[in-house]
Amino acid sequence: MSDVGLFHLLQLQRKQKNMCNLTLCVLLFLTCSCLSLASCPAQCWCEATVVKCVNQNLRSIPQPLPENITELNVSGNDIWNLDNESFPRPLEHLTHLYASGSQVEQLDSMVFKNLPSLRLLDLSNNRISQFSVEAFPEDNKIDILNLSKSLYNHSYIGVFADLFKHSLTKVSHLDLSNNDLVLLPEGIFTSLSDLTVLDLRNNSLVTIRNDTFWNLALQMLDLRDNALKVLHNVTLEKLSSIPDLQVSLAGNPWRCDCNIEDMLIWLERHQVVVDRLNLTCAGPAELKNVPLLHLEQSQLSCWSNAGDALNRALEPSYVFLGMVLALIGVIFLLVLYLNRKGIKRWMYNIRDACRDHMEGYHYRYEISTDPRLANLSLNSDV
Ligand SMILES: *[C@@H]1O[C@H](CO)[C@@H](O)[C@H](O)[C@H]1NC(C)=O
Ligand SMILES: *[C@@H]1O[C@H](CO)[C@@H](O)[C@H](O)[C@H]1NC(C)=O
Ligand SMILES: *[C@@H]1O[C@H](CO)[C@@H](O)[C@H](O)[C@H]1NC(C)=O
Ligand SMILES: *[C@@H]1O[C@H](CO)[C@@H](O)[C@H](O)[C@H]1NC(C)=O
Ligand SMILES: *[C@@H]1O[C@H](CO)[C@@H](O)[C@H](O)[C@H]1NC(C)=O
Ligand SMILES: *[C@@H]1O[C@H](CO)[C@@H](O)[C@H](O)[C@H]1NC(C)=O
Ligand SMILES: *[C@@H]1O[C@H](CO)[C@@H](O)[C@H](O)[C@H]1NC(C)=O
Ligand SMILES: *[C@@H]1O[C@H](CO)[C@@H](O)[C@H](O)[C@H]1NC(C)=O
Ligand SMILES: *[C@@H]1O[C@H](CO)[C@@H](O)[C@H](O)[C@H]1NC(C)=O
């Protein structure tokens, strides 16, 4: 009796143990799957520590991101605003963030404060019109910054000039291509003492300020496809004083007149410009497409060009003067026509006045020629 009872008890205990094991297993499985879910957000693809959430029409940065993430690609989405909720938890190992072509317009203050290791930030192909100067923590490590075709309009470069001066001082690779930039703000790159690669290709830069390139570490400067007509002495000297620099200058509308002489001499003397064989004149017309290095000094005139310019400037003013004169003539005729009665009266008045006068003259003449009266007057004189 007691043996049987003991046996049942043992069986029951074993069953309970099995149940226990089962629940443990289920729990374990659940936590495992939960963990694996947590490690890769929905609509993302994770491999080791790289997370890609590309072309998913995401409206915000997917959450939560795995804690050991090193690289995040959220290109091709619809994330117009990056704010302090975009990275709510510290991600100590995230170094590369790609947010290209994601309709980004606004970056609020402290958006990157939880990404202390961020080195590469790709914001290309966006429409940035609000970028807080406090977006980056003070001790950020941003080294590669891609702002290619990312400014809403060219005036917005001023805000980036402030950022470069105050919080992005460690940048060494800077891509500012395709932004329609016309003028670079004063001293925009002066604080970037580590700047080695600067891409300004395909903007509309018309001139380079004297104080633009004070970056002795600069190695690659791409100024192709801008609107430069000539580089002045100050800029030339600055560029050739940077030890290992390579500059690209093709695709600019160089103006081949006497003002470009200094630049030609510089091009022949220095090897700084890697594509110097590809530089061609855009004007004057007779030198169009002539390579700069094939020019003779005798071809570089300024007098005839100055004359041309003067003529061209005067032509429209002659036309204008003619038009003004014609207009005055027409108005004069119109006034005459409108006032024809008054004028007629006036003419009659004048004629009458003349006639009176002439008659009076005639009368006096007749008097003075009358010999009797002449005698009279002679007598009275005596
Ligand atoms: C990163 O964390 C996930 C889980 O969160 C883990 O599966 C993965 O092995 C970790 N990777 C590295 C390189 O530590
Ligand atoms: C990020 O995703 C875009 C879109 O698929 C892709 O073109 C780009 O090469 C990716 N960048 C990196 C570094 O993987
Ligand atoms: C995020 O920014 C908003 C204002 O933009 C502020 O009200 C909020 O307190 C901030 N949150 C954190 C966690 O800093
Ligand atoms: C550039 O955009 C700003 C708005 O961010 C606007 O106020 C400004 O007028 C625009 N400038 C030009 C030249 O379009
Ligand atoms: C910046 O982004 C553009 C477009 O996404 C790409 O073509 C270019 O190579 C990038 N520049 C750098 C320095 O990575
Ligand atoms: C040059 O930049 C403009 C925007 O400023 C862009 O629309 C155009 O496609 C770019 N051209 C090339 C050849 O990249
Ligand atoms: C810049 O250069 C021009 C001509 O080379 C000179 O007239 C001007 O004073 C310079 N400006 C500065 C701020 O050095
Ligand atoms: C430019 O510099 C060269 C020598 O470095 C000098 O001969 C030339 O006169 C300078 N041109 C101007 C416009 O100052
Ligand atoms: C000069 O232009 C040609 C044709 O456009 C191009 O193939 C070559 O790479 C350019 N040379 C340099 C140094 O950029």
Q: pLDDT tens-digit profile of 192-205?
A: 999 999 999 999 99
Indicate if 215 and 113 belong to the same structural domain.
Answer: yes
Of the pLDDT bands very low, low, confident and very high (cuts 50, 70, 90), residue 308 is low
Domain that holds residue 360: 339-381
At which of 268, 285, 319 does a domain end?
Answer: 319
Q: Confirm whether 174 is domain-assigned.
A: yes
What lies within 8 Å, CB to CB, of 245 at 6+ separation is 218, 219, 220, 221, 239, 272
Q: Confirm whether 234 is domain-assigned.
A: yes
Indicate if 350 and 288 belong to the same structural domain.
Answer: no
**pLDDT > 70: percent of the chain:** 78
In this structure, which residue's CA is closest to atom 8 in ligand 3?
84
Q: Report the pLDDT value the prediction gives residue 210, as an integer from 0 to 100.
A: 86
CA 60 to chain centre: 28
Q: Confirm whether 275 is domain-assigned.
A: yes
97 has a pLDDT exceeding 90? yes
Indicate if 119 and 263 belong to the same structural domain.
Answer: yes
Indicate if 233 and 360 belong to the same structural domain.
Answer: no
Indicate if 109 and 238 belong to the same structural domain.
Answer: yes
Indicate if 199 and 278 belong to the same structural domain.
Answer: yes
C-alpha to C-alpha distance for 42 and 180, rounded to whole angstroms? 37
* Token representation of residue 220: 């690659």
Q: Confirm whether 11 is domain-assigned.
A: no
DSSP letters, 305-323, are: HHHHHHHHHHHHHHHHHHH
β-strands 45-47, 50-52 pairing: antiparallel
Q: Is 83 in the pocket of ligand 8 (CB under 6 A)?
A: no
Closest CA to 303 of 253, 259, 254: 259
Indicate if 345 and 266 belong to the same structural domain.
Answer: no
How many CA atoms within 13 Å lie on the side-chain side of 169?
A: 9
Instruction: List beta partners, residue 107.
Output: 82, 131
In this structure, which residue's CA is closest to atom 4 in ligand 3?
84
Give the model confidence (pLDDT) of 100-150 as tens digits.
999 999 999 999 999 999 999 999 999 999 999 999 998 999 999 999 999
Indicate if 179 and 215 belong to the same structural domain.
Answer: yes
At which of 290, 319, 348 does a domain end?
Answer: 319
Q: Is the separation of the CB atoms in 189 and 215 below 8 Å?
A: yes
Residue 210 CA: distances (Å) to CA of 2, 137, 238: 105, 31, 8
Q: Confirm whether 258 is domain-assigned.
A: yes
Indicate if 257 and 346 belong to the same structural domain.
Answer: no
Residue 76 CA: distances (Å) to CA of 58, 301, 317: 9, 52, 54
Residue 14 CA: distances (Å) to CA of 17, 19, 20, 25, 212: 5, 9, 10, 16, 82
Find the 232 Cα to ligand 8 centroid distance in Å. Answer: 9
C-alpha Rg value of the chain to the nearest Å = 44
Find the 110 Cα to ligand 1 centroid distance in Å. Answer: 27
Give the number of domains in the chain.
2
Mean pLDDT of 166-189: 94
Indicate if 211 and 360 belong to the same structural domain.
Answer: no
C-alpha to C-alpha distance for 256 and 301, rounded to whole angstroms? 8
27 has a pLDDT exceeding 60? no
* Token representation of residue 150: 């990312």
Question: Counting Cβ atoms within 10 Å, is residue 335 exposed (0-12), middle (13-18) or buried (19+)?
Answer: exposed
Q: Among 83, 84, 111, 132, which residue has the most ligand 3 atoms within 8 Å of its CB, making it the best to mutate?
A: 84
Within 6 A (CB) of ligand 6 lie 149, 178-180, 202
Q: Confirm whether 12 is domain-assigned.
A: no
CATH number at residue 310: 3.80.10.10
Residue 30 CA: distances (Å) to CA of 17, 18, 19, 24: 20, 18, 16, 10
Indicate if 211 and 279 belong to the same structural domain.
Answer: yes
In this structure, which residue's CA is closest to atom 5 in ligand 8?
233
Q: Confirm whether 324 is domain-assigned.
A: no
Indicate if 186 and 243 belong to the same structural domain.
Answer: yes
C-alpha to C-alpha distance for 71 and 306, rounded to whole angstroms? 58
Give the model confidence (pLDDT) of 324-378 as tens digits.
788 877 777 887 787 877 777 877 787 887 677 667 655 555 555 555 544 544 4
Q: Confirm whether 122 is domain-assigned.
A: yes
